[in-house]
Amino acid sequence: ALPICWKKPEREKEEEQQRRAGPRRASLMSSSPLSKKRRVSDSEPKTGSYCSSAVSVRTDLSTAPANGMARNGNEAEIDEGLYSRQLYVLGHEAMKRMQDSSILISGMCGLGVEIAKNLILGGVKSVCIHDQGKAEWRDLSSQFYLREEDLGKNRAEACYSRLAELNNYVPVTSYAGQLTEDFLFKFQVVVLTNASLEEQLRVGEFCHDKSIKFIVADTKGLFGQLFCDFGDDMVVMDVNGEQPLSAMISMITKDAAGVVTCLDEARHGFETGDFVTFTEIHGMQELNNCEPVEIKVLGPYTFSICDTTKFSDYVRGGIVSQVKMPKKISFKSIKTSLAVPEFVVTDFAKFDHPAQLHLGFQALHEFQKKHGRLPKPRNEADAAEVLALTSAVNEKASDSLKQTQLLEDLIKELAFQASGDLAPVNAFIGGLAAQEAMKACSGKFMPIMQWLYFDALECLPEEKKEMLTEETCSPKNCRYDGQIAVFGSNMQEKLSKQKYFLVGAGAIGCELLKNFAMIGLATADGGEVTVTDMDIIEKSNLNRQFLFRPWDVTKMKSETAAAAVKQMNPSIRITGHQNRVGAETEKVYDDDFFENLDGVTNALDNVDARMYMDRRCVYYRKPLLESGTLGTKGNVQVVIPFLTESYSSSQDPPEKSIPICTLKNFPNAIEHTLQWARDEFEGLFRQPAENVNQYLTDPKFMDRTLKLPGSQSLEVMEAVYKSLVSERPRSWQDCISWACNHWHSQYSNNIRQLLHNFPPEQLTTSGAPFWSGPKRCPHPLKFDPHTALHLDYITAAANLFAQTYGIPGSTDRLAVIDILQAIRVPEFTPRSGITIHVSDQELQNANASVDDSRLEELKNGLPTPENVAPFKMFPIEFEKDDDANFHMDFIVAASNLRAENYDIPPADRHKSKLIAGKIIPAIATTTAAVVGLVCLELYKIVQGHQKIESFKNGFMNLALPFFAFSEPIAAPKNKYYENEWSLWDRFEVRGMQANGKEMTLREFLDYFKNNHRLEITMLSQGISMLYSFFMTPAKLQERLDQSMTEIVTRVSKKKIGRHVNALVFELCCNDDDGNDVEVPYVRYTIR
């Protein structure tokens, strides 16, 4: 998920770019907010009437059009187990509107089936697939649900059953008749692919007239086209999908345009034209819960609002919250828009292409109408005719569209490739088209206005394009004919012999494997795809990991995915592994494995694994294709040996962490209480049990614990003592008693102690209220077993506590209440002399003195392991997706109770799971589009492209919609003497010499002195220091005549595995003048 692709901007610009378009890597976006900038879930306009109507907006949605945008009448439950990751992208309301929408997709070639797949996975009401044509060889280039035995059958009927398997909630039907007006009227959205211009105009005009949303999608080889018409009065409920922002207020002036100043520790992030409302303001009560008011941004911490001159004086405090306002937009019909088009630019380096391709696609339709076929691949006569037809279309074009000069090479290339059918281009355009259909149904996100054109001509050979001839690109009556039409038969042979390593078989991995099968990667002798993933399939995967079915749940992802793509293309040579990539599997993925690869493709969900694979690819000098998604955002990065920087060359800023004191005593956002609840979970149900088990089984545990820094040793010992002695339960009733006492400790006693230290009316040394700004004054809660949230907490906490001791729990809430009635909680009185730190700085400065007498008391009070045996505890690993395990029950209850302490609006289970579980929102459309771009880069790698400008790093945000492509950043160059080097360079040193003996340390040092004029001052291997200039003479003398591998073995205290052919040494060197110089690493070959 993550993103993205160009050189990072200055920090001042970065926050805004990340919020509006996404971070460099989708996978890195944090759900943790800044302590003074909050995200709020309540985006409904507030009631009130103080602000002038001239600057506030209320949109009446009662007139929203009936087709696909009416308020949802079907209150059917949404299966959150299946749709959870997509729900975090779209939200429940948008999903409900989608569930009211029936969609027709006409044309079941590769593009049509891609759109259908994405929409069925997305969960619309129903999908009807339509096609009157029969399957032919070239369809198999990208139509992944057609088989060779389907040739000659109706395309829609042949792939219907396979599409219907994708989602049990979405009925799928097939239709092979005419698209009559009566038939079209049944649908809320109509998508045409592979249709003539006459059909597009006929259907499009009817749909516009009847308020049916209409989409045209088409691909021709490396070219793509998309058109949207969602009617005269489309209402967009949320233009960008970002969570509404919130900020804390420090001042509001009384002016004709009142100026609001936010606390200066975090930028407010608003834009001019945003709408906001206010809460919790002391003084100026007129603004609290006012109707949404439009703002004008004055600076990063200030903005102006309506006339506040007649309002009460501002005193202090307050929260300003962004309100998402519905936006009404109007579309032209296809007939009108064809003549006066608006374009969404996908690549700003090709800003002049859309208008040219708009004319060229019309010319192709003319050619097909005239000849009953598309232009032949690489046929000069056909291309010349298409060029002439384009010129004729241009002559008749409106003034706004007419081109002063046609890009003849571009138009001819369009003609050459018109019969091409490429899976990656279909994946990209199909992902976009399906997202537009979802926008049409749901009113979520900004639609494409109204034409989008795309081309990837950089995929063609860099040199010798004349090698692509009519003969090499002509149909061969094989499944790759659609691809051969673009790249020729020689390229097909290269693809078939590739050896690729795919790391990950999740959403991106599934899409990659589908594309690999379609393009014919590794389908001949010598070819091989190795895919590894150690995860099993879960229900929530089925919404976008489309190679898996409900009956595959609990199976291994890699094996299941490999078997599924073998069905799509039986020729693919693929092996599934269940290994995690890392140091522990380098015996499997060793020198021989990597050296035989042609490239690596990452489909990972975490940065650590990405960086590990990046290091391996740099070391073995293998191309790496990297990608990630985060909701509607996606990125692609291509790493080419000796040409580009690597994935690790640039990194995002570290995530902002929540200050400890904020979590512990001064939360002001639901994110804070959720993180606190997660920490509680770990500190109650995992860490103590792990420590107890170590105490009982590891004789060195006590020694290690007593050596821990600061107060950690006392904290660990207290926890072990509680678990084994003072709080060890013997029955279910004891577990309930523990939960009840813990409830009182956290939600009443600790709060009362905090208020004892800092009373509500307390002032700071400067005279300002202590409880102001980000510090919200809490209040203790009174326990009531009949309050649902209180009982939720007790039931979940008691069951989890019981699990750690192997005691059977219960979900009988009435029985729990009965037990609670008999529990007597000790009275609590706040004490003086208790220190509560106000800031992390104060916490760090405090001298953490350990009470040695208490440590000794705990140590002596613990039973010996022998006396407790065979007792052990059962640590609980947090698992967010199992609704029956009490984990999320505890998190939601613990967080919302603390939120109630501090008057923070609570979060429902859905939002709590997103934040506490650090879930990366995901949707099939983005994944498909991103992987399409990845595989376009794969074409270039297989052909051996060597110009950096040929490659494209890409970033997209389908919600906006926004696209950006840039050439990769070149590998930075370093220099010593006159030798230039980059991260791809290294010193190659053969350890075994001609005499059959291995090089000694003395010989190694001499080699660099004599051959490279470098004096090594320090030499290391991994974390082992092998040599340094400050070594003692005795140790140096001992090592100088030892072999390098002997030194490595002795210092690291590890044997060198037989699978290791070479070692990596890092050097610090001086040049002839005694200056430090930076040099590459050493690859020291030992076998």
Residues 6+ apart with CB under 8 A from 654: none
Report which residue type is found at 878. F
Nearest to 304 by CA among 294, 312, 292: 294
- Point out the catalytic residue in the list 661, 740, 777, 935: 661
740 is known as an active-site residue: no
Tokens standing for residue 30: 């944090």
Enumerate the β-bridge partners of residue 980: 975
Q: By the 8 A CB rule, do 190 and 208 touch?
A: no
Name the strand (E) or helix (H) holding 227.
Answer: strand 223-229
Q: By the 8 A CB rule, do 810 and 752 touch?
A: no
Nearest to 628 by CA among 645, 652, 644: 652
Rounded CA separation 571/567 (Å): 9
Tokens standing for residue 661: 């004191």
Q: DSSP of 805-870, one letter per residue?
A: HT------HHHHHHHHHT--PPP----TT----SSHHHHHHS-----HHHHHHHHHHSPPHHHHTT
Greatest Cα pair distance in the chain: 97
Name the strand (E) or helix (H) holding 646.
Answer: none
Q: What are the contacts of 9-17 at 24+ separation with CB within 8 A?
A: 11/653, 14/653, 15/267, 15/269, 16/269
Query: In the chain, what is the straight-line distance between the N-terminal and C-terminal CA atoms, in Å?
Result: 41
Nearest to 836 by CA among 897, 762, 893, 894: 762
Q: By the 8 A CB rule, do 234 and 68 touch?
A: no
Residues 6+ apart with CB under 8 A from 1030: none
Phi, psi of 129 (to 5 degrees): -100, 135
Q: By the 8 A CB rule, do 668 and 776 touch?
A: yes
Residue 799: strand, helix, or coil: helix
Opening angle at CA 194, ends 192 and 195, nearest 5:
65
C-alpha distances (whole Å) from 709 to each of 270, 689, 712, 766 are 44, 21, 6, 36
Sign for the pseudo-dihedral over CA of 535, 537, 543, 548: positive
**CB 584: neighbour CB atoms within 10 A?**
9
Residues 6+ apart with CB under 8 A from 994: none
Enumerate the β-bridge partners of residue 259: 304
Phi, psi of 780 (to 5 degrees): -70, 155
The catalytic site residues sit at 661
